[in-house]
C-alpha cells in the first residue's frame, strides 16, 4: 500500500535564508522518482521536507503542503515521529549505529516502535528485511558482529534494511550511492528496482546515468544564481527528460553544458 | 649594487654556517624539551620514592596495625595509627558523591547538548566551565555555613522514610556534619567537571547517527537512548573517574564540613568518620616529626588510590580511542 | 503487508485512522506543570512546616516528573510520555544543579560584600585578634599573587617545553611514558603534592616554611595542566605550516619558535591562565608549606606567608561572626581573582581564535 505524495507550494528556509521556493509536484505510488540538479539547488533539502527531517536542522522551517494520500504532513496535530515512521530515509553516507550489531541495527526501528514483541517475530522481520535489501546471504553468519565491520556498500544496504524493516510507505534516498564504488552502486540500483514493487521511492542523485537507469520519472532542480532559492524546473517521465526536455536549462544540464 | 656579486659569492658559506648553528640550535632545543619531559618523569618517580621512604620510617615504629587500627595517635609514644577509618570514609564519601553527581551531570550535559534552547546552551556551557574553577575552600565554607543547616531537614526525611535500610538510619541527634553531607558537597563540587567532559562527548556523537534514529521515527529520548548514550558511555565513565579522582583527594571541603571521629559506621547520616586528606589537614599542625611521617604514610595510600583510579580512566579512554578509530 | 502494521496503532493510543496525527498536550503544558508543581511544593512545605527549602524543592521536582508522565500518558501515548519524562528529568537535573551553584555564588557575594572595602584590601591582620572586627586581606592577597607567579615561572616553561617535546620530537617509549605520566600527574591530589615538597624541601633539606615551598607544590599541580593544553594547541597547528617553513631551509628549532609557537600562542596562554586560576585556589599544600601569617611578608623566599585560601580557612576556624565575615569577603576576593583570570584567558582565546584559522 505505497502512497502518493502530492506537494503544493512548498518553500523551505534555513533561518532567514530561503533554500527552496514554491515547489509543487506529484509522486506516484510504486514508482521511482529521481531528483537531479547542480549542487546547492535544494534537492536534498526538498527531500528532507518530505519526512519532516528538515526541521531537525537548527533554524529549519517549512511553508506549504505535503499531502500523503489525503493527509497533510504539515497539518496541525501531526506527529513528526509518526511521519518519519511512515516515510523512511536512507542517507548519503552509510550510517549504521556504531555501537550495535548487524541484527540490532535492523531491529532498532522495530524495538523503538515496540510493534514487535516476540523474539521469533523479530527474527523473522530482520531476516525478511535483510533479504529485501539483498544482504542476507552475506551477513547471515555474523548477525551479532558490529555493523561498522561491513564494507561501505554492505553498510548502505544494511541501512536500507533498517529503513524497510519498519514497513514505511515511502522510501527517501539522499544520494545513496555517492560514497560507494561502482559494483556496490550497481547492487543498490538493482535493489531499488526490486523495492519499487512495494514502496514509493524518491532518490536524489548527482549521477545522471543513475537517474536514467533507475527512475520512472525525473525532476530537474536549479537555482537562478548563488544565494537564490532553488526551484523545480520541470518534472516528467525520465525518458522524455533525457531525450526531449521541454526546458532549455534541463537540456543544458543533461548534456553537460553546466553543473 | 657593486657588492651583489660578492654577496652571492659568500652566500654558500653563510648558509652553511647558518646550517651549522641550526644544527647546534636544534640539539640544544630538542635537548631542552626532552629534558623537561624527563624532569616530569623524575618528579613523579621521586614523589613515589620519597613518600615511600618516609612512610617506611613511620611504619617501622607503628605499634598498631597500619591497615586495621581505628586510631591515629602518631605523635604519642609509642605511636599507634591505622588507616582503616580513613580509607572507609574516603571511599564512602566518594561513592555517595558519585551516586549523586554522575546521573545529574549526565542530565545537565544532555540538557546543554540536546535539550536547551540554542541561545541558552552556549552561555550555560560557559557558566558550567567557570563554576569548575571555583576554589574548593569556597565550596568548603559554603558547605559548612550554608549547606549543613539546609540538609538537616533532608536528613530527617531520609531517617524517617529510609531508616529501615540501616544505611540511612540516623542514630545520633545533631547537625548534619556527616559523611553523607560530605558526599553531597563533593557531588556539587565535581558536577561542573563531570558535566563539562560529558557534554564534550555528547557533542561529538556523529550527526548522521542521530538522524538515522530520527528517520526511523524515534522520539528525542529514543534518539538519545539509541545513538547518543551508547556512543558516549565510555566518555561518561572516564569523566566520572576524573570526578572520582577529585573527590578522593579533596581536602578543604571535607575538613570544613565533617566533624571527624575515629569510628567506622555505615550509618552515613551520623556525624563522624574521616578521610585521608581531611586527616592530614587536621592533624598536621600538632604533629611532631614522627607524626608527620605517619601522615605522609597515609598520603602515600591516597596517592596510590588516585593512581589506580586515574590509570583505570586512562585505560577506558584509550580503549574508546581504538574503538572510534576502528569506526572511522 | 504495510497495511497490517498500520492497523496496529503503533503504540499510539490516540492515533487517528491514518496514523499520523495524535492528540497532543498544548505547547504551554511543561511550563504549566512546572508552575503547578512549584506551587504545590511550596504549599506542602508551608502547610507541613518543613523548614528546609531542600525538601520543598524535592517535592516540587517529584511532582513535576510524575504529573508530566501522567498527563502525557493520558492525552498522548506511552512513548510520548516516556519522551516527556526524559525531557522533564533533564530539566530537573539542570535546575537541581543550578540552584546550589547559584546559591554558592549568591551567598559568597551577599555575605562577602559586608566587610569588603578598600580598607579590607589594603590592611593585614596585624594586631587584630581573630574574634574582633577589622583587619584585612592585603597580606594574603600579596602572598597568593607571589606564590602563583613563582609557580607559573617554574611550571610554564617546563610544561611548554614538555609539550613541544611530545608534539614535535617525541617518538618511542620515552614519549609514551611522558604522556602517560602527565595524565597520571593530572590526578595527584594537591595535598600529596604538598607532602612531597614537605618531605624533600623541608624535612630532607631542612628549609623552613616559605612562599617558595608552596610555589613548588603548586608548580607540580600546574605542570600537567599546562602540558595538556599546550599539546592540544600545538596539534591544531597545521602540518603544512611546518613543512612550508622547513622547505624554506629554516632549521627545525627556529620553525618551532618562529612559526609553530606564535601560531598557537593564543591557545597556549589561555591554557596557562586557566592553570593559574586552578592553582590560585589551592589550600592544602599552602597549609603544609607556607604555614600562614597574620603579617605582611613580601619576601616569598623567607619565612611564613599567607595566601587567600589559607586566610579563608584560618578565619573559618576562628568561628566568630566577625571572622566569618572576613572569610566570606576573602572568598569573594578569591573568586573574583580566579574569575578575572578565567575571563582574561577566554578573552585571549576568543581574540586569537580567528588567526589560528579555525
Q: Are the C-beta atoms of residues C326 and C306 closer than 8 Å to each other?
A: no
Pick from A53, A98, A148: which is nearest to B215 by CB? A53
Residues of A in contact with C22 (CB under 8 A): 77, 79, 82
Angle between helices B118-131 and B179-203 (to 10 degrees): 130
Distance from CA of A93 to the nearest CA of B (A): 8
Whether the CB of C15 is below 8 Å from some CB of chain A: the reply is yes
Neighbours of chain B (3+ CB pairs under 8 A): A, C
Q: What CATH number does residue A61 fall under?
A: 3.40.50.300
The answer to whether residue C19 scores a pLDDT higher than 80 is no
The answer to whether residue A77 scores a pLDDT higher than 70 is yes
Looking at residues A157-183, what average pLDDT do you find?
Answer: 90
Integer Cα distance of C210 and C213 in angstroms: 5
Looking at residues A221-229, what average pLDDT do you find?
Answer: 84
> What's the confidence (pLDDT) of residue C9?
34
CATH 1.10.3720.10-classified regions of chain C = 138-352
The answer to whether residue A13 scores a pLDDT higher than 60 is yes
| pLDDT band with cut points at 50, 70 and 90 for residue B10 | very low
Candidates B117, B118, B212, B215: best to mutate against A (most CBs of A within 10 A) is B215
Integer Cα distance of B264 and B85 in angstroms: 6
Integer Cα distance of C139 and C123 in angstroms: 7
Distance from CA of A179 to the nearest CA of B (A): 14
Residue A243: exposure state from Cβ atoms within 10 A (0-12, 13-18, ≥19): exposed
- How many folded domains does chain A comprise? 1
Count of B-C CB contacts under 8 Å: 282
The answer to whether residue B251 scores a pLDDT higher than 70 is yes
> What's the confidence (pLDDT) of residue B190?
92
Of the two residues C193 and C343, the one the predictor is more confident about is C193
Q: How far is CA B113 from CA B133, B199, C57, C99, C264, in A?
A: 21, 6, 25, 20, 28
Q: Mapping DSSP to helix (H, G, I), strand (E, B) and coil, where does residue A233 land? A: strand
User: In sequence order, what are the residues at sequence separation of 6 or more whose Cβ sits closer than 8 angstroms to the Cβ of residue C7?
Assistant: none
> What's the confidence (pLDDT) of residue B6?
38
Q: Looking only at Cα atoms, what is the longest distance across chain A?
A: 57
User: In sequence order, what are the residues at sequence separation of 6 or more whose Cβ sits closer than 8 angstroms to the Cβ of residue A174?
Assistant: A44, A47, A48, A89, A90, A91, A92, A204
Most confident of the following: A145-149, C21-25, C280-284: C280-284
Whether the CB of A71 is below 8 Å from some CB of chain C: the reply is yes
**Cell numbers given for A245:** 526536455
User: Burial letters for B34-44: b for 16+ Cβ neighbours within 10 Å, e otherwise?
Assistant: bebbeebbebb
C229, C231, C235, C237: CA torsion to nearest 10? 70
The answer to whether residue B275 scores a pLDDT higher than 60 is yes
Whether the CB of A25 is below 8 Å from some CB of chain C: the reply is no
Distance from CA of C87 to the nearest CA of A (A): 16
Q: Which helix (H) or strand (E) holds A19?
A: strand A17-27
Integer Cα distance of B220 and B241 in angstroms: 28
User: In sequence order, what are the residues at sequence separation of 6 or more whose Cβ sits closer than 8 angstroms to the Cβ of residue C15?
Assistant: A82, C9, C21, C22, C77
Q: Which helix (H) or strand (E) holds A11?
A: strand A5-14
> What's the confidence (pLDDT) of residue C3?
31
**Cell numbers given for B212:** 538515522
Alpha carbons within 13 angstroms on the beta-carbon side of residue C14 total 18
| pLDDT band with cut points at 50, 70 and 90 for residue C23 | low
* A259 lies in some domain: no
Q: A18-64, pLDDT tens digit by residue?
A: 999 999 999 999 999 999 998 888 899 999 999 898 988 888 889 99
> What's the confidence (pLDDT) of residue C13?
36
Domain that holds residue A110: 5-254
Query: What does the mean pLDDT of chain A come to?
Result: 89
Of the two residues B292 and C49, the one the predictor is more confident about is B292
Whether the CB of C82 is below 8 Å from some CB of chain A: the reply is no
> What's the confidence (pLDDT) of residue B9?
39
User: Burial letters for C96-122: b for 16+ Cβ neighbours within 10 Å, e otherwise?
Assistant: bbbebbebbbebbeebbeebbeeebee
User: Burial letters for C2-24: b for 16+ Cβ neighbours within 10 Å, e otherwise?
Assistant: beebbeebbbbebbeeebbbbbb
Looking at residues B169-183, what average pLDDT do you find?
Answer: 84
How many C-beta atoms surround the C-beta of residue A180 within 10 A?
A: 22
* DSSP letters for B253-265: HHHHH---BS---
Question: Residue C203 gets which letter from DSSP?
Answer: I
Q: What kind of architecture, by CATH, is found in domain C138-352? A: Orthogonal Bundle (1.10)
Integer Cα distance of C55 and C43 in angstroms: 12
The answer to whether residue C174 scores a pLDDT higher than 60 is yes
Distance from CA of C207 to the nearest CA of A (A): 57
* Closest listed residue to residue C38, CA positions, set C87, C107, C99: C99
Rounded to 5 degrees, φ, ψ at A20 are: -135, 150
> What's the confidence (pLDDT) of residue B261?
85
Which of A41-45, B65-69, C207-211 shows the lowest per-residue confidence on average (mean pLDDT)?
Answer: B65-69
| pLDDT band with cut points at 50, 70 and 90 for residue C171 | confident
Count of A-C CB contacts under 8 Å: 52
Residue A159: exposure state from Cβ atoms within 10 A (0-12, 13-18, ≥19): buried
Q: Name the residue of chain A whose CA is nearest to B320's CA.
A: A99
User: In sequence order, what are the residues at sequence separation of 6 or more whose Cβ sits closer than 8 angstroms to the Cβ of residue B165?
Assistant: none
Cis peptide upstream of residue C224 (ω within 30 degrees of 0): no
> What's the order of all strands across the beta sheet hosting A230-237?
A71-72, A60-68, A5-14, A17-27, A230-237, A217-223, A32-36, A200-204, A170-174, A87-90
> What's the confidence (pLDDT) of residue B15?
38
The answer to whether residue B83 scores a pLDDT higher than 70 is yes
> What's the confidence (pLDDT) of residue B297?
92
Question: Residue A229 gets which letter from DSSP?
Answer: P
- The separation between CA A252 and the C-alpha centre of its own chain, rounded to angstroms, equals 26
Contact C96 B154 (CB under 8 A): no
How many C-beta atoms surround the C-beta of residue A141 within 10 A?
A: 8
> What's the confidence (pLDDT) of residue B22?
60
The length of chain B is 328
The answer to whether residue B206 scores a pLDDT higher than 90 is no
ipTM, two decimals, is 0.84
Contact A115 C22 (CB under 8 A): no
Looking at residues C152-158, what average pLDDT do you find?
Answer: 95
**Cell numbers given for A32:** 521511482
Distance from CA of B318 to the nearest CA of A (A): 17
Report the percentage of chain C scoring pLDDT > 70. Answer: 92
Grid cell 558523591 in the structure block, residue = B97
The answer to whether residue B326 scores a pLDDT higher than 60 is no
> What's the confidence (pLDDT) of residue B181?
92
Q: Are the C-beta atoms of residues B294 and B58 closer than 8 Å to each other?
A: yes
- The separation between CA B113 and the C-alpha centre of its own chain, rounded to angstroms, equals 23
* Closest listed residue to residue C316, CA positions, set C338, C276, C287: C287
**CA atoms A59, A65, A71, A77: torsion sign:** positive
Looking at residues A179-206, what average pLDDT do you find?
Answer: 90
> What's the confidence (pLDDT) of residue B320?
63
Residues of B in contact with C79 (CB under 8 A): 219, 222
Most confident of the following: A139-148, B262-271, C327-336, C338-347: C327-336
Of the two residues B6 and B165, the one the predictor is more confident about is B165
- The separation between CA A33 and the C-alpha centre of its own chain, rounded to angstroms, equals 10
Please write down the HEC assignment for all residues of C103-155. Answer: HHHHHHHHHHCCCCCHHHHHCCCCCCCCCCCCCCCHHHHHHHHHHHHHHHHHH
* A136 lies in some domain: yes
Contact A98 B231 (CB under 8 A): yes
Of the two residues C3 and B187, the one the predictor is more confident about is B187
Pick from C54, C162, C168: which is nearest to B151 by CB? C54
Bridge partners (DSSP) of residue C291 are: C305
Integer Cα distance of B185 and B277 in angstroms: 15
> What's the confidence (pLDDT) of residue B327?
36
* DSSP letters for B197-221: HHHHHHHTS-HHHHHHHHHTT--HH
Looking at residues A72-76, what average pLDDT do you find?
Answer: 88
- The separation between CA B71 and the C-alpha centre of its own chain, rounded to angstroms, equals 27
Distance from CA of B41 to the nearest CA of C (A): 6
The answer to whether residue C291 scores a pLDDT higher than 60 is yes
Amino acid at each position: 500500500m505505497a502512497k502518493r505524495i502530492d506537494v503544493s507550494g512548498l518553500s523551505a528556509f534555513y533561518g532567514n535564508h530561503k533554500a527552496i521556493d514554491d515547489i509543487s509536484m506529484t509522486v506516484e505510488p510504486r514508482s521511482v522518482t529521481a531528483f537531479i540538479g547542480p549542487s546547492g539547488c535544494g534537492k536534498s533539502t526538498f527531500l528532507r521536507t518530505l519526512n519532516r527531517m528538515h526541521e531537525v536542522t537548527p533554524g529549519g522551517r517549512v511553508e506549504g503542503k505535503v499531502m500523503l494520500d489525503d493527509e497533510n504532513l504539515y497539518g496541525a496535530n501531526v506527529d513528526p515521529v509518526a511521519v518519519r515512521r511512515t516515510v523512511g530515509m536512507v542517507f548519503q553516507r552509510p550510517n549504521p549505529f556504531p555501537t550495535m550489531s548487524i541484527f540490532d541495527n535492523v531491529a532498532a526501528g522495530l524495538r523503538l516502535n515496540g510493534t514487535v514483541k516476540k523474539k521469533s517475530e523479530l527474527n523473522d522481520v530482520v531476516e525478511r528485511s535483510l533479504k529485501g535489501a539483498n544482504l542476507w546471504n552475506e551477513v547471515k553468519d555474523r548477525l551479532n558482529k558490529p555493523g561498522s565491520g561491513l564494507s561501505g556498500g554492505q553498510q548502505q544496504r544494511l541501512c536500507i534494511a533498517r529503513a524497510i524493516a519498519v514497513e514505511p510507505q515511502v522510501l527517501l534516498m539522499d544520494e545513496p550511492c555517492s560514497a560507494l564504488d561502482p559494483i556496490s552502486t550497481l547492487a543498490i540500483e538493482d535493489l531499488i528496482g526490486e523495492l519499487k514493487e512495494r514502496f514509493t521511492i524518491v532518490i536524489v542523485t548527482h549521477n545522471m546515468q543513475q537517474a536514467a537507469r533507475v527512475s520512472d520519472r525525473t525532476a530537474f532542480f536549479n537555482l537562478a544564481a548563488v544565494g537564490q532559492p532553488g526551484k523545480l524546473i520541470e518534472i516528467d517521465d525520465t525518458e522524455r527528460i533525457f531525450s526531449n526536455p521541454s526546458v532549455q536549462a534541463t537540456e543544458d544540464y543533461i548534456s553537460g553544458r553546466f553543473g | 649594487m657593486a657588492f651583489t656579486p660578492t654577496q652571492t659569492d659568500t652566500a654558500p658559506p653563510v648558509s652553511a654556517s647558518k646550517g651549522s648553528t641550526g644544527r647546534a640550535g636544534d640539539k640544544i632545543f630538542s635537548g631542552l624539551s626532552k629534558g623537561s619531559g624527563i624532569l616530569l618523569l623524575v618528579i613523579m618517580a621521586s614523589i613515589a620514592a620519597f613518600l615511600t621512604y618516609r612512610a617506611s620510617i613511620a611504619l617501622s615504629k607503628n605499634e598498631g596495625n597500619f591497615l586495621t587500627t581505628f586510631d591515629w595517635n602518631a605523635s604519642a609514644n609509642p605511636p599507634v595509627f591505622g588507616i582503616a577509618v580513613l580509607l572507609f570514609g574516603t571511599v564512602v564519601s566518594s561513592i555517595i558523591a558519585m551516586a549523586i553527581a554522575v546521573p545529574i551531570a549526565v542530565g545537565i550535559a544532555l540538557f546543554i547538548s540536546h535539550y536547551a534552547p540554542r541561545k541558552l546552551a552556549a552561555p550555560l556551557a560557559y557558566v558550567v566551565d567557570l563554576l569548575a574553577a571555583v576554589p574548593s575552600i569556597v565550596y568548603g565554607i559554603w558547605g559548612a555555613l550554608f549547606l549543613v543547616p539546609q540538609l538537616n531537614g533532608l536528613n530527617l526525611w531520609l531517617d524517617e522514610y529510609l531508616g529501615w535500610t540501616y544505611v540511612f538510619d540516623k542514630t545520633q541527634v545533631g547537625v548534619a556534619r556527616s559523611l553523607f553531607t560530605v558526599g553531597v558537597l563533593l557531588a556539587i563540587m565535581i558536577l561542573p567537571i563531570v558535566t563539562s567532559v560529558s557534554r564534550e562527548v555528547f557533542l561529538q556523537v556523529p550527526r548522521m547517527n542521530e538522524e538515522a534514529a530520527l528517520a526511523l521515527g524515534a522520539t528525542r529520548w529514543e534518539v538519545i537512548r539509541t545513538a547518543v548514550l551508547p556512543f558516549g558511555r565510555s566518555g561518561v565513565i572516564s569523566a566520572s573517574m576524573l570526578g572520582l579522582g577529585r573527590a578522593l583527594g579533596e581536602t578543604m571541603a571535607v575538613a570544613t564540613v565533617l566533624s571527624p571521629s575515629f569510628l567506622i559506621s555505615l550509618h552515613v547520616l551520623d556525624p563522624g568518620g574521616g578521610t585521608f586528606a581531611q586527616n592530614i589537614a587536621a592533624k598536621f599542625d600538632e604533629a611532631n616529626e614522627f607524626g608527620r611521617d605517619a601522615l605522609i604514610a597515609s598520603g602515600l595510600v591516597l596517592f596510590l588510590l588516585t593512581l589506580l583510579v586515574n590509570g583505570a580512566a586512562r585505560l577506558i579512554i584509550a580503549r574508546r580511542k581504538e574503538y572510534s578509530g576502528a569506526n572511522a | 503487508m504495510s497495511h497490517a502494521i498500520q492497523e496496529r496503532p503503533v503504540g499510539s493510543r490516540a492515533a487517528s485512522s491514518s496514523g499520523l496525527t495524535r492528540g497532543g498536550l498544548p505547547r504551554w503544558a511543561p511550563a504549566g506543570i512546572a508552575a503547578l508543581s512549584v506551587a504545590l511544593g511550596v504549599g506542602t512545605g508551608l502547610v507541613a512546616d518543613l523548614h528546609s527549602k531542600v525538601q520543598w524543592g524535592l517535592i516540587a521536582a517529584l511532582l513535576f516528573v510524575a504529573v508530566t508522565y501522567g498527563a502525557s500518558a493520558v492525552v498522548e501515548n506511552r512513548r510520548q510520555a516516556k519522551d516527556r519524562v526524559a525531557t522533564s528529568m533533564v530539566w530537573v537535573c539542570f535546575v537541581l544543579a543550578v540552584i546550589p551553584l547559584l546559591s554558592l555564588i549568591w551567598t559568597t557575594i551577599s555575605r562577602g560584600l559586608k566587610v569588603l572595602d578598600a580598607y579590607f584590601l589594603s590592611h593585614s591582620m596585624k594586631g587584630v585578634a581573630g574574634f574582633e572586627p577589622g583587619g584585612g586581606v592585603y597580606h594574603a592577597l600579596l602572598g597568593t599573587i607571589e606564590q602563583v607567579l613563582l609557580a607559573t615561572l617554574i611550571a610554564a616553561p617546563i610544561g611548554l617545553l614538555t609539550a613541544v617535546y611530545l608534539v614535535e620530537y617525541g617518538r618511542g617509549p620515552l614519549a609514551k611514558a611522558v604522556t602517560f605520566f602527565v595524565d597520571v600527574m593530572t590526578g595527584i591530589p594537591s595535598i600529596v603534592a604538598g607532602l612531597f615538597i614537605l618531605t624533600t624541601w623541608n624535612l630532607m633539606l631542612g628549609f623552613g616554611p616559605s612562599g617558595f615551598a608552596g610555589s613548588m607544590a603548586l608548580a607540580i599541580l600546574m605542570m600537567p595542566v599546562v602540558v595538556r593544553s599546550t599539546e592540544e594547541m600545538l596539534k591544531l597547528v597545521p602540518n603544512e605550516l611546518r613543512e612550508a617553513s622547513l622547505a624554506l631551509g629554516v632549521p627545525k628549532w627556529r620553525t618551532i619558535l618562529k612559526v609553530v609557537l606564535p601560531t598557537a600562542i593564543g591557545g597556549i596562554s589561555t591554557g596557562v591562565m586557566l592553570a593559574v586560576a586552578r592553582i590560585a585556589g589551592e589550600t592544602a599544600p599552602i597549609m603544609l608549606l607556607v604555614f600562614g601569617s597574620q603579617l605582611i611578608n613580601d619576601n616569598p623566599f623567607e619565612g611564613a606567608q599567607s595566601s587567600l585560601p589559607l586566610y579563608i580557612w584560618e578565619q573559618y576556624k576562628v568561628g566568630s561572626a566577625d571572622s566569618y565575615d572576613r572569610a566570606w569577603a576573602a572568598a569573594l576576593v578569591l573568586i573574583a581573582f580566579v574569575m578575572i583570570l578565567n575571563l582574561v584567558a577566554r578573552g585571549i582565546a576568543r581574540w586569537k581564535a580567528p588567526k589560528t584559522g579555525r
